[in-house]
Amino acid sequence: MQARVSLEDVSALARGCAVLGTGGGGDVRPAAVAARGAIREYGEVPLVRLDELPGDALVLPLSGIGAPTVSNEMIQSADEPLHIRDEIERIFGRPPAAVMSSEIGGGNGVSPVAWAARLGLPLLDADAMGRAFPEVQMVSMYVAGIPANLVVMADVLGNVVTIRPVDGLWSERIARAVCVASGSSALMADYVLTAAECAGAVIEGTVGRAIAIGRATEGAQDPLAALEAELGAVRLVTGKLTDLERRTTGGFARGTVTIEGTGGDRGRKLTLEIQNENLVAIEDGVVRAMVPDLITVVDSQTATAVQTESLRYGQRVTVLAWPCDPLWRTPKGLETAGPRAFGYDLDYVPVEAIETAGSAA
Amino acid sequence: MQARVSLEDVSALARGCAVLGTGGGGDVRPAAVAARGAIREYGEVPLVRLDELPGDALVLPLSGIGAPTVSNEMIQSADEPLHIRDEIERIFGRPPAAVMSSEIGGGNGVSPVAWAARLGLPLLDADAMGRAFPEVQMVSMYVAGIPANLVVMADVLGNVVTIRPVDGLWSERIARAVCVASGSSALMADYVLTAAECAGAVIEGTVGRAIAIGRATEGAQDPLAALEAELGAVRLVTGKLTDLERRTTGGFARGTVTIEGTGGDRGRKLTLEIQNENLVAIEDGVVRAMVPDLITVVDSQTATAVQTESLRYGQRVTVLAWPCDPLWRTPKGLETAGPRAFGYDLDYVPVEAIETAGSAA
């Protein structure tokens, strides 16, 4: 029997996407509301593996772009996916066969369920990040060397814009400008690919993985241990959020968060550097995990991920870190989304290598 | 024999377009340099009448958008027209058959000669304004009720953007945003129409008229009288530019110019209100001419039009005014580009009616 995303799956998906979002990727709550609403109205969404699609089937990677508060309303609107589908059909001469999430992390991993339901299309069990990243060129297709030669955007009013950029950076620049002109939010399809082209250029299995992550803590005696095991994560610290500095620069929600250890971690102090997502974890001047590896702050009791905008002084939290998809550890992957791509003068060391070195010391 | 725009025609065209630009429409000089260069490289440009094109021939209205100083470089670049043609061919399944000027006034009326030469296409003897206007929705197609449902833009780097806007105002808003993101200048095609659709929706004969206006003063004993006769213009004042106030607000070069009469006009004082173009002429608190009628400042000796950016204190100038195309005097025309569309609380009175009333008084 074919896999489907049901109403109940949406809750698990939202929990898992929040964990994979490393603080960012957009609020999962309104996205889950929209996904449930769309499933109620249009039915459950088939979840297909890449090898289940014909080689020439068009895959439509969709994501929201723009201010989160506005996006929350946008994803409840119904017509953007239809406008994008129509434009894709005009351009390619055939309609898309499946929707794909561009970014499994945060709300952007949940909303595609609503868009796929609205279009009556299956959702591909894959995404382009395996986590969340802030910029449109930080996608697996870019790392795979596929030219970013087409972006289609639709806004809530019905304006549709097609960009054929010279490269991914211009794609980002023009798409942001269109987004701001369109009232600060839009739905976007980029890298429309055939299923054959997707092979090796997308990260497979991530929707299923997000649902599994969400399910791992359900009914668990020790949700934190269950989540840690599911992720294969290192526990960096368990403690209390004692300092939180936020600033918005260059369109990013930047911040520095300090967590002081409690219990067995008493006396320890971990600092997180944030640019939309949690990027670097530092303890005693030593980096303990860094982007593109995943670093997520979770509630110590429930193991629910705390997204960046929900961080508050006094929260009892645990910081987990675990390995990113191998694609991000290639030279092109690190050039695209490694520490230096975010302005940190750090040589990337995989999180598991840091931990091993730490234990050996 | 078919009409062609030759190297020598470019000078006359540039002079005529400057006159029709009512101060705006972009500097004619760099546009003329580009047009001559393109004719030298690619040959003379056939000038065709609308009734010479098959009904299903695609007409490509082209215009520059963005900061003039950058545009001057842009129009010398060669590839933007090719990118736009390729995108049009992708969208419509056939290439355009002729280029049209969106705006005959100023440099925007001259540059299409270069673009048509580069594309090896004829230039349609028509435009969408019969003059210059500052906003993209101020075009004959909009007045004719044709939906602004497609805009194609190309920048100097090779980025191509296609906009399917919900209306002309959104078209303008998104196109400007893309233009700013693309380094502040771009080439733009909007309202791509078949020749059959152009009938009644473009202003015919304006390229030929601009060339005739340019030729009228060549070798004339009294260039000013010759230009006045060619235009059927009213001479509002002859005098000296004694005051010039410039300000840039909302993307417009706004200004107020005062011309004090000399010779037979001694004791008279005319004020011009400018928003890129000369919009309203006032004498003793009485409006003597107003947009959409044409108001142009010319050198009193040579009858050469003085574009807004070249206005200088002390210039000896004459202000001419003459009737716009009848299209702009319809209710929809006045709503689109009448005095109130520019923020002036004035009921439109045709320039010839004002003069008749003035003479009768």
pLDDT of A229: 97
pLDDT at residue A83 tops 90: yes
Average pLDDT over residues B72-94: 82
Minimum mean pLDDT range among A22-31, B93-102, B311-320: A22-31
Residue B92, in any domain of the structure? yes
DSSP-assigned beta bridge partners for residue A291? none
Angle of the B28-42 helix axis to the B7-20 helix axis, nearest 10: 150
Contacts of A159 in chain B (CB under 8 A): 163-166, 170, 174
In the listed set A206, A240, A274, which residue is the last one of a domain according to the structure? Answer: A206
Query: Is the domain of A179 the same as that of A256?
Result: no
Could you tell me if residue A214 is inside a domain?
Answer: no
Residue B105 lies in a domain: yes
CATH of the domain at B119: 3.40.1610.10
Burial of A252 (0-12, 13-18, 19+ CB in 10 A): middle
Q: What is d(CA A328, CA A39) in angstroms, rounded to the nearest whole number? A: 33
Residue for token digits 């201010």?
A67
Among A94-98, A196-200, B247-251, where is mean pLDDT lowest?
A: B247-251
pLDDT band at B148 (very low <50, low <70, confident <90, very high): confident
Least confident interval from A131-145, A334-348, B59-73, B271-285 = B59-73
Checking if the pLDDT of B114 tops 70, the result is yes
Same structural domain, A184 and A236 = no
Q: Does B87 touch chain A if contact means CB atoms closer than 8 Å?
A: yes
| Residue A216 included in any domain | no
Residue B71 predicted with pLDDT over 80: no
Beta bridge partners of B237: B319
Task: State whether A177 and B173 contact (CB < 8 Å).
Answer: no
Search chain B and give the residue with CA nearest A86.
B164
Which residue, B152, B175, B206, sits at the end of a domain?
B206
Query: For residues A288 and B355, which has the higher predicted lDDT (pLDDT)?
Result: A288
CATH no. for residue B284? 2.40.390
Task: Point out the residue among B157, B170, B177 whose CB comes nearest to the CB of A177.
Answer: B177
Are A252 and A190 members of one domain? no
Segments in chain B forming alpha helices (H): 7-20, 28-42, 68-74, 80-92, 111-119, 140-143, 168-181, 195-198, 206-216, 223-231, 331-337, 351-360
Query: Is the pLDDT at B66 greater than 80, yes or no?
Result: no
| A16 and A156 both lie in a single domain | yes
Residues B184 and B251 in one domain: no
Report the distance separating Cα B259 and Cα B273, nearest Å: 12
- Bridge-based pairing of strands A185-190 and A252-261 is unpaired
pLDDT at A68: 53
Tell me which of B177, B206, B235 is where a domain ends.
B206
Q: Indicate whether B171 belongs to any domain.
A: yes
The answer to whether the CB atoms of B181 and A160 lie below 8 A apart is no
Q: Do A181 and B163 touch (CB under 8 A)?
A: no
A147 and A40: one domain?
yes
Residues linked to residue A263 through DSSP beta bridges, in sequence order: none
In this predicted structure, the answer to whether residue A361 has a pLDDT above a threshold of 50 is: no
Does residue B214 belong to any structural domain of this protein?
no
A 10 A CB-CB count for A120 gives 11
Percent of the residues in chain B that have a pLDDT greater than 90, as a whole number: 78
ipTM of the complex: 0.78
Q: Do A176 and B173 touch (CB under 8 A)?
A: no
Residue with the bigger pLDDT between B248 and A93: it is: A93
User: Exposure pattern of B17-48 as b/e (b: 16+ CB <10 Å)?
Assistant: bbbbbbbbbbbbebbbbbbbbbbeeeeebbbb
Q: Within this chain, do residues A231 and A192 fall inside the same structural domain, yes or no?
A: no
Q: What is the pLDDT of residues A142-153, one digit of tens each?
A: 999 998 889 999
Instruction: Identify the pLDDT of residue A295.
Output: 98
> Does residue A119 fall inside a structural domain?
yes
Using a CB–CB cutoff of 8 Å, tell me whether A163 touches chain B.
yes
Confidence of residue A360 (pLDDT cuts 50, 70, 90): very low
pLDDT at A245: 92
Mean pLDDT, residues B138-145 taken together: 93
> What band does A286 get if pLDDT is binned at 50, 70 and 90?
very high
Please check whether residues B13 and B151 belong to one and the same domain: yes
> A102 and A140: one domain?
yes
Nearest chain A Cα to B84, which residue? A164
- Domain-located, residue B211: no
Residues B141 and B189 reside in one and the same domain: yes
User: Do B230 and B169 have their domain in common?
Assistant: no
Closest residue in A to B171 (Cα) is A159
Q: Which long-range contacts (CB under 8 A, 24 or more apart) does A199-202 make?
A: A199/A50, A200/A144, A201/A140, A201/A141, A201/A144, A201/A146, A202/A50, A202/A59, A202/A100, A202/A124, A202/A126, A202/A127, A202/A128, A202/A140, A202/A141
**Distance between first and last Cα of chain B:** 51
Query: Looking at the complex, does the CB of residue A94 fall below 8 Å from at least one CB of chain B?
Result: no
Amino acid at B275: Q
Task: List b or e across A25-53, with b for residues whose CB sees 16 or more CB atoms inside 10 angstroms.
Answer: bbbbebbbbbbbbbbeeeeebbbbebebb
Number of domains in chain B: 2
Inform me whether the pLDDT recorded for A74 exceeds 50.
Answer: no
**Residues B337 and B234 placed together within one structural domain of the fold:** yes
Q: Does A185 or B215 have the greater pLDDT score? A: B215
Min Cα distance B235 → chain A (Å) is: 43
Question: What domain range includes position A315?
Answer: 222-360
Instruction: Give the nearest partner residue to B174 out of A91, A166, A178, using CB atoms.
Output: A178
Question: For residue A28, what is the enclosing H or E element?
Answer: helix A28-42
